[in-house]
Amino acid sequence: MKERHMSFRFYQNKISINKKLRHINYVFIFLIMTVCSVGFMTLYSVENGNIDPLVSNQILRFFVGFIMMLIIATIDINFWIRWAYVIYGITILLLITVEITGSVNMGAQRWINLKFIQLQPSEIMKIALVLALARYFHWLNCYNVKRSLYLIPPLTMIIAPVILVFNQPDFGTAIVLTMTGGVIFFLVGVQIWKFITIIAFGLAAIPIIWNLMHKYQRQRIITFLDSESDITGSGYHIMQSKIAFGSGHIFGKGFLLGTQNHLNFLPEKQTDFIFTTFAEEWGIIGSTVLLLLYTMIIFYSYKMSLQACSQFARLIGLGLITSFFLYVFINIAMVTGLIPVVGIPLPLISYGGTSMITTLFAFGLILSVYIHRNVYISNNI
């Protein structure tokens, strides 16, 4: 039934700009704006009730990002498949540049200073990798997917940036890249036993990776394993974060009333640990509502992606939303003490330009996938 429907599907390669705007999923836009507003509100509280500088900066970035998102949503999807490898290649070059000349920031090389904006190639790579993999698997038919030889190029595409990002060192992003790549492999139908094999190899490689790790990264893992043992030392962040959560209870301490937040007990409270600030002031009600908003964003992304007729579009949508999901999960699991502190922001909420811009960029692509759901993409570009 479905197959029949699919075979008679009407491909529409030229869509007017009006029609494109009409096909924007406005519920999705509304969800994004709501979550961002929660972010502005929390930043307002972090700044003890001041708009400047955090909230105003963040709102400015949001508007820039939002307009960019709408522009990207309307760009023909064929553009992205055509330029996917180029974007990927440039991003790899940027990563290498960072590796060689990148300025030292926070003890890690992550930024390229372009005077007007500090560029973080690893953030771009999350999108570039999804684009490149989507293009590859769009080209690869489902029989060849089963053949291991054809999996070597995409594996290389994943491993190369992962090593570069890991070297920066940015543990969190490396994990997100690896897992996003893995999810795309999973979606295109790579056999389960291959995953099991790779995971088994990965586990076997843990001792080697351990030795390659920076001392502070090892310390973070050690701290995680026994976070409450030294509350003034390295476990301080996690402990203070848990205290903020726990003292929030059902309804929280109230907007602008979080003591952990306002008395500066919380670490990195406007960036990585912002969820803690929010949870302290809004309690379990607030944190659950925020998580539900994230869930709905993810749900709508799935819904939009799976309606696309091309493999490339589907993979972009699902790959990018997976990366988004991983960010949300890792960040919240980190601040609640479930996993080690890896330094990953909470998308749409944490203060920071690159994160906001790249997330909205990704959402622009997801919207584009939906708008161009009926656009045919050739296998031979």
Binding site for other proteins (CB under 8 A): 3, 6-7, 141-143, 183, 186-189, 240, 242-250, 259-260, 263-265, 279, 283-284, 287-288, 291, 294-295, 298-299, 302, 305-306, 311, 314-315, 318, 322, 325, 329, 332-333, 336-338
Q: Which amino acid is at 187?
A: L
∠ CA 263-266-272, nearest 5°, is 140
CB of 189 to other proteins, least distance (A): 4
C-beta separation of 157 from 132 below 8 A: yes
Closer residue to other proteins (CB): 208 or 226: 226
Contact 62, 356 (CB under 8 A): yes
- If 0-12 CB within 10 Å is exposed, 13-18 middle and 19+ buried, where does residue 139 land? middle
CB of 287 to other proteins, least distance (A): 5
Residue 64 or 179 with smaller CB distance to other proteins: 179
Residue 315 or 356 with smaller CB distance to other proteins: 315
**Using omega within 30 degrees of 0 as the cis cutoff, is the peptide bond preceding 267 cis?**
no
Q: How far apart are CA 208 and CA 223, in angstroms?
A: 20
In angstroms, give the least distance from the CB of 234 to other proteins: 16
Nearer to other proteins, 6 or 204 (CB): 6
Q: How far is the CB of 270 from other proteins (least distance, A)?
A: 15
* Residue among 75, 157, 130 nearest 315 (CA): 130
Comparing CB distances to other proteins, the nearer of 13 and 103 is: 13
Q: What is the DSSP letter of 188?
A: T
Which CB, 102 or 319, lies closer to other proteins?
319
Distance, in Å, from the CA atom of 240 to the CA atom of 220, rounded to the nearest integer, reads 16
| CB of 285 vs other proteins, minimal distance in Å | 9
* Minimum CB distance to other proteins, residue 359 (Å): 17
